[in-house]
Amino acid sequence: MKWLDTLLISVALSKSVVSIDPHDVLEQFKEEYRIKNSVQYDYLVPSEAEIKGDTFFHDYFPYYKTASPKMKNENNSGYMLEIPDSESIFLDYEDIDLYGKIDFKFPYGPLKLDHSIVNKTVNEHIDELNNLIEIENNSEAARILADINLFGLYNTAIDVKQAEALYLRIVNELPNVSAEIEGHAHFMLGVIYSTGVFGNFEKDPAKGLIHYRFAADLNNIQAQMTLAHKYMFAVNVVENYSEAIYYFSLIKERIEGKIGSSMLNVQKTPSTIVEEMIFSYNLNKFDVSWCDFEDGIFGPATQALDTLRYFETFDDYEKIKQMGTGSLGDDDYVADEDETLNAYSLLYFETQKHYNGDYLNARNYDMAFKFANLCVSNGLLEPDVAQSLKNVEKLNQAKEEFKDSSSGFKFEISFGEDLSPLDLFVGRCAQYLGHMYLRGEGTEVNYDLAKHYIDIGKNLAGNKPFLSDNGIINYYGLGMEADKKKALEIYEDGIKYASPRYYKALHLIDEFETQLKTENPDIIPEKIITMLSTASPYNMLAKRKLIQLYEEGRYTTEEKSISGVYNSYVKLLDHLYFDFKLPFYSFINSKPENDDNKIWTGLVSLAIASEIGYANAQQSLGVILWPTLGKFASKKYRYSDDIYSTVFTAQRFKEAISYLEISAKHYNRDSINYLGDLYYNGLYPSYTEQIQTDPLYNRPWWQYVLPLSSVEEEEKSWLLPKLISLFETIDKIISPLKLTLRSIGLLRNSSTYTNEIAIVPRDVKKAISYYYDASTLGSHLGSYNVGWAYEFGIGVAQDLNLAKRYYELSLERSNLGYLAVKFAILRLELKAYVWSLIGCDGRGIREINHDGKTWKERFTMIISMFGNPNFD
């Protein structure tokens, strides 16, 4: 026996000598998963190297495919571009149609959150990882296995408890663990305790914070983000902007080390050379709010912010193609007949498509460069384009001469009508080409060529889409003598856009520094700060500059306001903290009816992103868990026996509220209104119970018309009892109608439930305070709801004047609900009239100097018109 043991151990050991790399095991996992699971959507990447990410989370993404050159085969149809002295290029119709797709459907509804009981799948690769941990104390294997267990990746069993055990083992037991892995394990433990992973653990934010702090001390960037977010938005801790700024500045320091590609040594003054970030870099944003794919929670116009990226599709070019033909809006014109124009529009389309990528295609600068080059080199040979170019150059020259003659008279060259669609397509290709030469994308940096093509592009098609390229070249003197005056003119031209405004502010700072005449040479003048702040919401560099000036002590502002700038700046670079493709692709590929793990993977990913501070993730989770969108939006699913007990559990709604509440702290108006609705409606075991607590349900309908106070006080008024009895009579007449209306509701017995029932008591006061917050943030929906509350005295003292003010506010903010709001205002006016008849002011309070007599006479007259015998 002893002998056998030794043999077993030595076999095990010799296996470990061959030592497998845990990363290879992971690659096999992904490979096999890809082969076994055909998914609806792949992420097309130019080469495998491109998908290597910045975090451990980027190791796991399995839904990518390497793009291969398109070949025409018998099955696909498309365009064949015949290019003289070059290979022909085939462009698939389907690729063209699919570009910019954003109509992904999210499977709101029956998602299972209870994964506490699972059957462990025995998998060869899991065994390999386990062996590495047991035999070699391999912490990398432990990290990978723990993550796989938590996310339920590659359809292995989801096992949150096992994940916790492994993370604990990394931080407590395994020897020789690198700081990165230990930091990661602490961060993940923080997530587990802080969120409870959808009810798999008791939530313990205090314990979570301890792990986040350990992780942050180990320089774990996710934990630093999490702590900054928590301190800034007072999540589980007391609000403390200094703490937030401390963590944000650590992160900003790290970002500085990563943005090398757009840094350049520039000659600021004859004696100083500084390193400057000359342009912002391209971001692939997968951090979306899932409601936006459904046009937002309350429709597109109420969104605080649309989180979806915009993509220029081939269809967008139809308008351009009709330009200059005099056939704009002419249905008879068939642009498709112009083959040359179509070819160039396609070349331009392919250029911008590959340059910008979309949700299904990674950026591919090599291809973008190739198409831009084809488009420009051939385009310049087109006689029409060459002619236009010559004309514009002549015009420009004339303009220069005119200016030099210092007549003071400026004349503008208007392109407008002369601009031909062909010029536009070729010109825009040239701008892309110049842009890529400037930035070294798909090619080596070449400032001379950049300038050459940017000039051509400008002459043919104006400045868009790259407003500042020309200015940057002139300003920094790239491939030429710097010409700051020219640069300034260019910025001045586009000053209403963020990027030229940023560069102009930079210029002003330089000027300010060389003059040094003010009393306070270190403090940047207010005017420049204003330019930067107004550019900063749309411009990454402006945000960075503001932070830089703040850190140098040259710009002083409130901690609260600079935390906001830090927050929006560091959040832009989301790939440094998380792989947002993971939840994105898990959701768009999921098939909940197959009970696969993808939904779970997506939810856990979003929970992590929401800890890191991404408000879109928080809002998405809230709305996913409490669906009011998609197929399961209807309330009836919440009262339906079969899925109620297993899917719409109490836990689920509790989680939804907690994520929505964090999201609301980010001033997201939709989330705030959503919470308002949620507390206004409450959640009850049955529809009957829900409706019975409705503040407007149990009242006789005529109470909607009369002041609540007078009805409740049963004041002795000569008129009120008469009115009430009139209304009661009417009520009786129409009561059969009302009964049928009410029985349409889903009446059901609550006694049939065996599971824990989700009950969120209606809390109108809380609801109104959310609506009020939303209204303060400029939401027309919020304003309308506050108006409604004042009109009927729900959660607030009834006040018709205030109600009217809020209704009008709603109308000022958006005329989307024009009819509804107008009707409400009309109703109010009628009501105010009725109230004044019975001697009440807008708050339902009896006016002292009310002249009852005259009114009585008038009113009797009105009443007698009813001809009702019940009136004496």
Ligand X SMILES: *[C@@H]1O[C@H](CO)[C@@H](O)[C@H](O)[C@H]1NC(C)=O
Q: Which is nearer to ligand X, 68 or 73 (CB)?
A: 73
5 phi, psi to nearest 5 deg: -55, -50
Q: Which is nearer to ligand X, 175 or 326 (CB)?
A: 175
- Cβ 188 to ligand X shortest distance, Å: 20
Q: Which is nearer to ligand X, 243 or 579 (CB)?
A: 243
- Given a contact cutoff of 8 angstroms between Cβ atoms, the answer to whether 781 and 302 are in contact is yes
User: What is the 3-state secondary structure of 351-377?
Assistant: HHHHHHCCCCECCCHHHHHHHHHHHHH
- Cβ 241 to ligand X shortest distance, Å: 8
Smallest CA-to-CA distance from 664 within 785, 777, 796 is with 777
- Cβ 134 to ligand X shortest distance, Å: 9
- Given a contact cutoff of 8 angstroms between Cβ atoms, the answer to whether 615 and 290 are in contact is no
The torsion defined by the Cα of 386, 387, 389 and 395, in degrees rounded to 10, comes to 160
Compute the distance between CA of residue 458 and CA of residue 424 in angstroms, rounded to an integer.
Answer: 10
719 phi, psi to nearest 5 deg: -90, -40
Two tokens, residue 868? 């009702």
- Cβ 395 to ligand X shortest distance, Å: 52
Which residues have CB under 8 Å from 95's CB, separation 6+?
70, 78
Residue 282, CA atoms < 13 Å, CB-side half-sphere? 18
Long-range contact pairs involving 37-41 (C-beta distance under 8 Å, separation at least 24): 37/155, 39/63, 39/585, 39/589, 40/588, 40/589, 41/104, 41/360, 41/585, 41/588, 41/589
Q: Which is nearer to ligand X, 121 or 518 (CB)?
A: 121
- Cβ 291 to ligand X shortest distance, Å: 32
- Cβ 114 to ligand X shortest distance, Å: 12
DSSP state of 157: P
Say if residue 348 is exposed, middle or buried (CB neighbours under 10 Å; 0-12, 13-18, 19+): buried
Q: Which is nearer to ligand X, 122 or 334 (CB)?
A: 122
- Cβ 122 to ligand X shortest distance, Å: 12
Q: Which is nearer to ligand X, 244 or 433 (CB)?
A: 244
Beta bridge partners of 65: 44
- Cβ 243 to ligand X shortest distance, Å: 5
Q: Which is nearer to ligand X, 239 or 510 (CB)?
A: 239
The CA angle 350-494-388, to the nearest 5 degrees, is 55
- Cβ 213 to ligand X shortest distance, Å: 12
Smallest CA-to-CA distance from 192 within 237, 159, 234 is with 159
Q: Which is nearer to ligand X, 121 or 514 (CB)?
A: 121
Q: Which is nearer to ligand X, 76 or 815 (CB)?
A: 76
- Cβ 193 to ligand X shortest distance, Å: 22
Distances (CA, A) of 160 to 182, 202, 425: 18, 13, 54
- Given a contact cutoff of 8 angstroms between Cβ atoms, the answer to whether 815 and 302 are in contact is no
Q: Which is nearer to ligand X, 730 or 746 (CB)?
A: 746
- DSSP, residue by residue, 407-459: -S---PPP-GGG--HHHHHHHHHHHHHHHHHHHTSSS---HHHHHHHHHHHHH
Q: Which is nearer to ligand X, 120 or 464 (CB)?
A: 120
- Cβ 140 to ligand X shortest distance, Å: 8
Two tokens, residue 722? 């008469």
Binding site for ligand X (CB under 6 A): 73-75, 119, 136-137, 175-176, 238, 240, 242-243, 748-749, 751
Which 3 state secondary structure label does DSSP give 89? strand
